[in-house]
């Protein structure tokens, strides 16, 4: 039985393919493990924040803040159209872009604040949900570490 150059090329190509597949598999496991660990860390930070803040707020204070942030959100949405129309029409000065950006920040900040306040309001359910998510991700991470 003779070994030709074509046979050697095929063997080398097969070995390279196996090495690439193995390398990609290891990279994908590392990437997935790192992503899961990052999610767990983020959820633990969120859980810690919720435990620190959740018990200290009263319902009336939460309602007041929520109402304030909703009003800010509506004012931001209403006020963003003027600078936007000026900018689109070409009649804008550089200050208009700054005004547009500041109202956009008001909208984003108020939306985030309202979502955080609703999370504080549902404190017991949120902590249980976060614990379940963390536990599920830790189980998934332990499966990856076992491989």
The residue among 138 and 64 whose pLDDT is bigger is 138
Rounded to an integer, the average pLDDT of 18-40 is 90
- Mean residue pLDDT of the chain comes to 79
Residue whose entry in the numeric block shows the structure tokens 């990437």: 31
Report residue 79 as tokens.
Answer: 């006020």
Task: Assess contact for 69 and 116: CB atoms under 8 A.
Answer: no
- Cβ proximity of 113 and 69 under 8 Å: yes
CA distances from 88 to 85, 91, 102, 104 (A): 5, 8, 17, 16
pLDDT in tens, 34-76: 888 888 888 888 888 777 776 666 665 666 777 787 888 788 7
Q: What is the mean pLDDT of residues 98-112?
A: 79
Q: What pTM value is reported for the model?
A: 0.44
């Amino acid at each position: 039985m003779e070994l030709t150059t074509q046979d050697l090329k095929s063997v080398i190509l097969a070995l390279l393919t196996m090495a690439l597949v193995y390398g990609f598999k290891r990279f994908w496991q590392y990437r997935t493990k790192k992503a899961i660990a990052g999610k767990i860390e983020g959820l633990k930070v969120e859980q810690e924040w919720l435990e620190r803040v959740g018990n200290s707020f009263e319902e009336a204070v939460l309602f007041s803040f929520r109402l304030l942030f909703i009003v800010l959100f509506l004012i931001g949405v209403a006020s963003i159209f003027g600078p936007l129309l000026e900018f689109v029409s070409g009649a804008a000065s550089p200050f208009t872009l700054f005004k547009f950006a500041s109202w956009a920040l008001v909208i984003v900040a108020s939306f985030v604040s309202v979502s955080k306040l609703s999370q504080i309001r549902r404190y017991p359910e949120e902590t249980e949900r976060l614990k379940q998510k963390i536990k599920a991700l830790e189980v998934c991470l332990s499966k990856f570490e076992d491989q």
